[in-house]
Amino acid sequence: MGRKRSPDELPKPQTNMWDFAAYYVRFQRTQRGMSGEALGRVINVSKAQVSRIETGVQRLDAKQAIALDKLWNTGRLFYLLVWYASIGHDPQWFAQHLKIEQRSAMLRIYEANVIPGLLQTPEYAEALLRSSIEVDPDQVLADRLQRQDLLLRDAPPHLTVLLSQNALDWPVGSPEIMCGQLTRLLEEAQRDNVILRALPRTWATGAHAGLGGSFKLMSGDDFGEVAYTESPGAGRLVSSPADVRTYGIRFERISAKALDEGTSFELIRKIMEEMR
């Protein structure tokens, strides 16, 4: 029998729609005296996966929600919770994104405008933050740099980064800061677990699937695959398999237009020369 969790370990329904869904699954199950194993048979998952859903580690999907609605005759309550959670703004979007990022075995990032936070130098990150409207840029900077420890752990995630040329040559800070940042990119790209490719700003590239904005795909054993996208003051985590698939297709279409690794490095070195 599993350890009984304290209230502090369980999702808070006031936090966001996903936590409300997790809370209500557990509430409905326990009200009916139903075991996790029995519920797992209904939604076609293991007892352990039911536990992960109820603790918010794994998210309920649309098919599982429909099965629960049928089982408990809820009038589509769980389906609608999942639907609203999937399309809505989550007040804890960034904190949840960071937790998932840290548990990821594979990360795929497309960045349209700036160098991704995981690969930023302290000087580049500080120059970006000083130009923003962050209330406490020093704390944000410290948190961002601490996130990079993810790439230094014993079993780091596999990281594939596609960078628009706009992200590579937009002036941030000073020529010295930019050259330092681009040097860091070339160094990181030598790691066995890192693939770095550039998307050149040319007529041959033309309009492409990345013009709509930056996004990230995060994959892990305990949560499957989640997409993340953000805009100023807002962000969105996407976990519906059908919706995540659209981001995967978009990533592949951008990748098809990107340079190979060697030519990408040549472009970065050329940009560095022009900045000196």
Residue 106, strand partner residues: 158, 219
Residues 196, 215: Cα–Cα separation, whole Å: 15
Q: What is the largest CA-CA distance in the chain?
A: 70
Residue 237, number of CB atoms within 10 A of its CB: 23
Full DSSP string of 189-203:
TTSTTEEEEEE--ST
30-59 confidence digits (pLDDT tens): 999 999 999 999 999 999 989 989 888 888
State phi, psi for 30 to the nearest 5 degrees: -70, -30
pLDDT at position 138 is 84
pLDDT at position 1 is 42
DSSP 8-state class, residue 227: E
State phi, psi for 117 to the nearest 5 degrees: -55, -35
pLDDT at position 18 is 79
List the chain pLDDT tens, one digit each, 276 residues: 445 555 556 777 777 777 888 898 999 999 999 999 999 999 999 999 899 898 888 888 889 999 999 999 999 999 888 887 766 555 566 777 888 899 899 999 999 999 999 999 999 999 998 887 666 788 888 888 899 999 999 999 999 999 999 999 999 999 999 999 999 999 999 999 999 999 999 999 999 999 999 999 999 887 789 899 877 666 778 877 888 999 999 999 999 999 999 999 999 999 999 988
pLDDT at position 242 is 83
Residues 82, 43: Cα–Cα separation, whole Å: 15
Angle, helices 36-43/47-54, rounded to nearest 10 degrees: 100
Distances (CA, A) of 237 to 21, 79, 98, 103: 15, 17, 11, 15
Sheet-wide strand order for 224-231: 194-199, 158-164, 106-111, 215-220, 224-231, 234-238
**236 sits in which H/E element:** strand 234-238
pLDDT at position 218 is 95
Domains of the chain: 7-87 (1.10.260.40), 93-275 (3.30.870)
Residues 135, 138: Cα–Cα separation, whole Å: 9
Structural contact between residues 196 and 164, judged by C-beta atoms closer than 8 angstroms: no
70-107 confidence digits (pLDDT tens): 999 999 999 888 887 766 555 566 777 888 899 899 99
Residue 162, strand partner residues: 110, 197
Distances (CA, A) of 74 to 3, 58, 65: 29, 22, 10
Beta strands in 2-149 (DSSP E): 106-111
